[in-house]
Amino acid sequence: MKATAIAHPNIALVKYWGKRDEKLILPHQSSLSVTLGPLAVTTTVEFTGQKGPDQIEINGKVAEGGERKRVEEALKLVRLEAGAKKKLGAARMVSRGDFPASAGLASSAAAFAALSVAARSAAGFGRDTKAESILARRGSGSASRSIEGGFVRWNRGKRADGKDSFAEQLFDERHWPELRLLVGMVSREEKEVKSRDGMRSTVETSPYYPAWAKDAEREVKEIVRFIKRRDLEAVGEIAERNAWRMHATALGANPPLCYLKPATLEVIEACRQLRKQGVGVWFTLDAGPNPVLLTSATDEARAVALVKAHGASEVVQCRPGGDARLV
Ligand code: 2P0
């Protein structure tokens, strides 16, 4: 009753921003992301068969508060699915990421994906990417997109119970091996408003929210066509537009949510200038100040130099990563 799994984080090119169900973590719109290698979280889960509280350790520390509660909830769901007869008992979970939580990449995406694969396997279930994606989603929405590698779409779904809201792979990581995703760390400060609270406030108070949600399904369809053709310019343009619109919606919240820093805008402007010189580089942003540049292997060195010249203390260089897997 013990298993270890590895999962990668992901970066959305068409973003998820807003829930229609807070408890089940159901989104208002579909989203699309690239799974990012080589960054990874490794998680071991063991069901002890004993009574007592779960033991949860994340990055060398005993998990507390909200973080602990979210993991406990996910473990509880696995016990429910397994049924009382199985007597899984309390769990021991140890999780470690090889990238800093402050990188601006949702480490929770890789963490809940690895937890879902490890915990279901420890409970005796065979691999089932749909069930794993749904379980990961209950921990963190974006985690539903880290079960599979390459290019992944999280379908919004329509059902109230969330059984049709899971992610699926459209193209695997070998589809576009020369694509590069570079995280420019312009700030390591903890953000003031977490994504979960930020999206809630946006849904409740931004007058632009309905327009944002309505646009998403079309944007997902559009970007899939261009990913299929590996058309970096078209993919980059949609990713930039979508990131701007997400931030515009958040800026429309009350109080306004501004995740950008001056250095973020500097990098964005430098991207534009570099494109004028024929370098293929575009950006996207998560709910934070660190831009993620989209470029190709050919232009990678110039894109790295660009972010470094504009205040990035570090650049995390990624490429499409693979599936979450048992080790
Ligand atoms: C995304 N983000 O699509 C968007 C873009 C941030 C900006 O998913 O509340 O940690 O746990 O479901 O998944 C970050 O939000 O939020 C996120 P919860 P999550 O990647």
Best CA proximity match to 297, nearest among 241, 230, 228, 240: 230
Is there a contact between 77 and 91 (Cβ–Cβ < 8 Å)? no
Q: Are residues 187 and 43 in the same domain?
A: no
Residues 27 and 155: their CA atoms lie apart, in Å, by: 9
Given pLDDT bands bounded at 50, 70 and 90, which one contains residue 190? Answer: confident
**Domain enclosing residue 302, as ranges:** 179-320
The answer to whether position 203 is within a domain reads yes
Is there a contact between 149 and 323 (Cβ–Cβ < 8 Å)? yes
Examine the pLDDT at 102 and tell me if it is beyond 60.
no
Q: Nearest 5 degrees, angle CA 288-CA 197-CA 213?
A: 80
Instruction: List pLDDT tens digits, range 125-163.
Output: 999 999 999 999 999 999 999 999 999 999 999 999 999
Instruction: Tell if the pTM clears 0.75, that is, is over it.
Output: yes
Examine the pLDDT at 310 and tell me if it is beyond 60.
yes
Instruction: Determine the distance separating the centroid of ligand 1 and the alpha carbon of 282, expressed in angstroms.
Output: 21
Residue closest by Cα to atom 12 of ligand 1: 141
Q: Are residues 213 and 139 in the same domain?
A: no
CB of 227 within 6 A of ligand 1: the answer is no
The answer to whether position 326 is within a domain reads no
Instruction: Determine the distance separating the centroid of ligand 1 and the alpha carbon of 1, expressed in angstroms.
Output: 31
* Number of domains making up the chain: 2
CB of 139 within 6 A of ligand 1: the answer is no
Work out the mean pLDDT of the chain and round it to a whole number. 95
State the angle between helix axes of 300-309 and 262-276 in degrees (0 to 180), rounded to the nearest 10.
140
Burial category of 148 from C-beta neighbours within 10 Å (exposed 0-12, middle 13-18, buried 19 and up):
buried
Q: How many CB atoms lie within 10 A of CB 95?
A: 24
CB of 200 within 6 A of ligand 1: the answer is no
Q: Are residues 143 and 193 in the same domain?
A: no
CB of 152 within 6 A of ligand 1: the answer is no
Residue closest by Cα to atom 20 of ligand 1: 12
Q: Are residues 232 and 184 in the same domain?
A: yes
User: What pLDDT does residue 189 have?
Assistant: 79
Q: Are residues 59 and 204 in the same domain?
A: no
The answer to whether position 325 is within a domain reads no
Instruction: Determine the distance separating the centroid of ligand 1 and the alpha carbon of 11, expressed in angstroms.
Output: 10
Residues 192 and 201: their CA atoms lie apart, in Å, by: 13
